Amino acid sequence: MNVLGYRLTLTALIGWLIILVCVGSAVLAPWIAPHDPNAPLGQRWEAPSAEHWFGLDQIGRDMFSRMLYGGRISITLAFLATCLAFAVGVVAGFAAALLGRWVDVALSRIADVILSMPILMSALIVISAVGSSAAVLILTIGLLYAVIVFRVARAVAMNIVVLEYVEAARLRGEGLFWVILREILPNALPPLAAEFGLRFSFAFLFVASLSFLGLGVQPPDADWGSMVKESALAIPAGLAAPLYPAAAIALLTIGVNMVVDWLLSLHSRPHGDNA
């Protein structure tokens, strides 16, 4: 099977199917969820049945409906944070590579200072200080990961700006953004696309980790990380409730990484070899 002229491997096909199922379920959650995700419907930890496919949670809410809505929140937060990271990181990285000198030094030293502290610790400090909300989570994760994206974009751009067609564009007097959009970005897309998928996986796991610690998505809303935390009380009773959101987190992460591996293989493939 070919996509955009490139052969889709079996693992890439599986990865795309996993992503489409997860994203499709999240987008269509209001239409396919059988129950209100926040409404108690029966006894706590009720076993799975024809009416409640995954059973009920610790206060009697339908687990399947909460899984659908939880995926909607988890994926949206991770995607928006990743988009923010790339909007900031790619522009800054390309600017550092093109302008060089003091701009490159200043941006690189700022990145070094931010990366000198573990990202999780930085996020915990910020969220503890300003509170937890969707906007805070997106801004915090996005800006912290923008530093890593900056490093990647700068390294990719540094290999491109020395090529003749970029030098010719700069000698013609083309502006910074013209050179970035018309000369550098099209040639940097394959590695940046792979980095986007990888960074989305990290952002997705980051959101789940913060929610598990109680600093992410707040009740009554749910994401998969908070659902694992809420369902942890079912583990001593031998119930499978925590396994559903945990499996969903693992499945989407594996699917994204399968696609990332395929994108990286395209980038490393000799030019013109699309077979």
pLDDT in tens, 38-74: 888 888 888 788 888 888 888 888 889 999 998 898 8
pLDDT in tens, 119-160: 888 888 888 888 778 888 999 999 999 999 999 999 988 888
The structure tokens 């959009």 sit at 181
The reported pLDDT for the residue numbered 166 is 76
Interatomic CA distance for residues 242 and 272, integer angstroms: 47
The reported pLDDT for the residue numbered 75 is 92
The reported pLDDT for the residue numbered 269 is 56
Query: For the chain, what is the mean pLDDT?
Result: 84
Interatomic CA distance for residues 143 and 124, integer angstroms: 14
> Residue 20: CB partners within 8 Å, gap ≥ 6?
none
Domain ranges, ordered by start, for the chain: 2-33+54-268
The reported pLDDT for the residue numbered 193 is 86
The reported pLDDT for the residue numbered 3 is 53
Interatomic CA distance for residues 126 and 101, integer angstroms: 32
Q: Provide the 8-state DSSP code for 180.
A: I
Interatomic CA distance for residues 118 and 268, integer angstroms: 31
Interatomic CA distance for residues 229 and 227, integer angstroms: 5
**CB–CB of 203/141 below 8 Å?**
yes
The reported pLDDT for the residue numbered 275 is 42
The reported pLDDT for the residue numbered 239 is 77
Q: Which residues of the chain have pLDDT under 50?
A: 270-272, 274-275
**Identity of residue 220:** P
The reported pLDDT for the residue numbered 6 is 62
Dmax (CA) for the chain in angstroms is 73
Domain 2-33+54-268 is of which CATH architecture?
A: Orthogonal Bundle (1.10)
Number of Cβ within 10 Å of residue 87's Cβ equals 13
Phi and psi angles of residue 40, each rounded to the nearest 5 degrees, phi first:
-65, 130
Angle at 201 between CA 267 and CA 247, to 5 degrees: 125
The CA radius of gyration of the chain, in Å to the nearest whole number, is 22
